[in-house]
Each structure stands twice: as C-alpha cells, then as structure tokens.
Amino acid sequence: MRIVLQRQTENSVCTMGEMTIEGSYAAWTLERQGPQFPSDYHSGPAGIYKVVLYPSPKFGRVMPLLENVPDCPYCEIHFGNWPHDSHGCILVGSQRGENMIYNSQLKFNEIYPLIEAAVKSDGCDIEIKDIPVAL
C-alpha cells in the first residue's frame, strides 16, 4: 500500500499537508517546520520510506513507524494537535486550523487499521513530497 504525504504550506512554526492512501484523501497532516527554521526538531526530508509497526514507548502501544528517516530515528505517524506534539513525526487530523489540526485521535483511529492491515499483508510505504515550487 502506498501512502502519499503532499506538503502544502510551511512557516517558521510548522509544515501542513494532505495524506492520501491509495490515491484517496485520508487526513490532513501537521509536522514540525523544515530545517531552514531554527528549532530543536524538524520535519524529515522528502523521500519514500518503509512503514513498519513499532511498540512505541511514548504511546504504550503499537504505532506506524517510518524506517531510516535521516536525523529522525523514531518518525511515527500519530495523533496530536500542535507542532510541539511532534518531535519530527507526522500528526494526522480531520480538520486544520492555523498551525494546528483537529480531531487527531479520531482520524488516527480511522486510518490506523488500514496501515496495520497493509503492513501485515503486502507491506506499506509512504512517499513524502515537498511543497511544489512555483514557476
């Protein structure tokens, strides 16, 4: 299964985007700002990463983890509403506001079974795409 995260906007606080699963809308996303902005944590680089299931000590449950993300050894897909809820991870939600997303835990609980089933069957990866450059 292919997940695509298309980053759409970025500022000095966060990066916001849209996640699709197999080409259909799945969630709005929120990540930390890119490395060009000063911060203790940043969004990971664009690329294609394998998604595995990982017993997260932070959440005390199994979570989706992106493997081999440079400078972010534990890049999870998880719930959270604000940039400070992420230490380089991808947050998901069903609505977005200014530098935040809403209904994150509900949206995570909706998409997690899809990711879990894919990882356990044919595998799952995520393609993270940077904001398109205007010409």
Give the domain CATH number at 101: 2.40.440
Is residue 61 in a domain? yes
Distance CA 51, CA 70 (A): 14
Average pLDDT of span 50-59 = 96
Cβ atoms 44, 88 nearer than 8 A: yes
pTM of the full structure:
0.95
CA angle 113, 118, 119 (to 5 degrees): 100
The pLDDT tens digits of the residues spanning 31-40 come to 999 988 988 8
Number of domains observed in the structure of the chain: 1
Whether residue 135 is predicted with pLDDT greater than 70 in this model: the reply is no
Segments forming the whole domain that contains residue 47: 2-129
DSSP single-letter state for residue 109: H
The pLDDT tens digits of the residues spanning 68-111 come to 999 888 999 999 999 999 999 999 999 999 999 999 999 999 99
Averaged confidence pLDDT in the chain: 95
Whole-number pLDDT of residue 78: 97
β-strand partners of 16: 9, 30
Is residue 135 in a domain? no
How crowded is residue 19: how many other Cβ atoms within 10 Å of its Cβ?
A: 21
